[in-house]
Amino acid sequence: MLRGSHRNCYKRARGQSSLRETFTKMPKASDNLWDIALAEVQKKENVDGKEDGDGVEIWERSVFFVGNKNGGKTTIILRCLDRDEPPKPTLALEYTFGRRAKGHNTPKDIAHFWELGGGISLLDLIRIPITLDSIRSFSVVLVLDLSKPSNLWSAMESLLQVTKNHVNKVIIDMGKKNSKIANEIKQKMWKSMQKDHPDRELIDPFPIPLVIIGSKYDIFQDFDSEKRKVICKTLRFVAHYYGASLMFTSKSEVHMLKTRALINHLAFGLEKSKSLSVDINKPLFIPAGLDSLSQIGSPSTSERDIGQIHARTPIELWKKMYERTFPPKNISDLKEVKDPARDPQYAENEVDMMRAQKDQELEQYTRNASKSWKGMELDVSGR
């Protein structure tokens, strides 16, 4: 599964000389394929330090996109980077980058964009981009497909839980090496929440900056108003509980401009918008820390319904109430996961010819082994 994805990452990195200054790590025996590819770029281009040819310091941030399969993650990334090209399906873990110069002879910013394909089928790959080296400047963008509300909670729950567990593990490892930095990361997420906010003791902020984007708003806006209300209130609660920003978007230029501004805040540290929209008849836009449980309200208008639900946590209560309106479908993201080794966008003559040869050898070995076993069975039966 990783072969095509990592090879694609390497080809991109090799063809973009502007990324030379970011590759400073020499390969070790424990390095994975991605680490080795980066080290190879460094060796071939004789890179030293973290400065470009003009000796200008470069600032870097990483943004990791996860979410529903075919939910629009690639489209958002391309539009944010002003790349006019049709989006291709993300098969595993994709990497690209954006670069922004603030002015003449001033620090240059680089943003590393990672995208996890396959919905929830490739959760193990989350550990690759989130490391001790990147954690201090790392952000997560969760893209949820509003047009498929029955698949929304399961994807959101799985992706957030696995990502959060891994981030916490990295922070613990960081604490063993540098407790000061680990504490800085832990305290950073409380900055968006005012000290006198009434919900400060009731929420559990995500360990690193998190943005939740509801995509395909153009389809969602035609839903029944009660269904839209349930989705909006539920996502508002989840975003507020995790100290995340929340926004709805579509492919329209107006919506994409707001999306791009929010992503640029994560990627390049640009000033974030202070606008606020909580009207269910309009796309939601709620920066982290600007919502409240009192404004969101309860997950159901009926106190009797809430009393019939047995839940141990607020998140569990909202989940059960949400799934009453949108029962989860038994459709797994694990189905129809394509083999990137056979995808034409990752074609490489020499590698593919060798792969075909090995496939033929394996097939021949299987046939020979099968004949041997049949022969042994005949010998046994003849005794």
- pLDDT of residue 381 exceeding 60: no
Q: If you average pLDDT over every residue of the chain, what do you get?
A: 79
pLDDT digits (tens, 9 = 90+) for 160-173: 999 999 999 999 99
pTM tops 0.95 = no
Residue 305's H or E segment, with its range, is helix 303-308
CA quadruple 211, 214, 217, 222: dihedral, nearest 10: -140
Contact 167, 242 (CB under 8 A): no
Q: What is the pLDDT of residue 157?
A: 95
Token pair 């000290």 is found at 195
Contact 182, 360 (CB under 8 A): no
Contact 58, 22 (CB under 8 A): yes
Side chain identity at residue 283, one-letter code: P
pLDDT digits (tens, 9 = 90+) for 117-152: 877 878 889 999 999 999 999 999 999 999 999 999
Strand partners for 61: 111
Highest mean pLDDT out of 15-24, 129-138, 367-376:
129-138
pLDDT digits (tens, 9 = 90+) for 251-301: 888 899 999 999 999 998 888 887 899 999 999 999 999 999 999 998 865
pLDDT digits (tens, 9 = 90+) for 24-83: 344 455 566 666 666 655 554 443 334 444 444 457 899 999 999 889 999 999 988 888
- pLDDT of residue 224 exceeding 50: yes
pLDDT digits (tens, 9 = 90+) for 73-103: 999 999 888 888 888 877 789 999 988 876 6
Domain ranges of the chain: 64-92+121-325, 358-382
**Average pLDDT, stretch 317-342?**
72
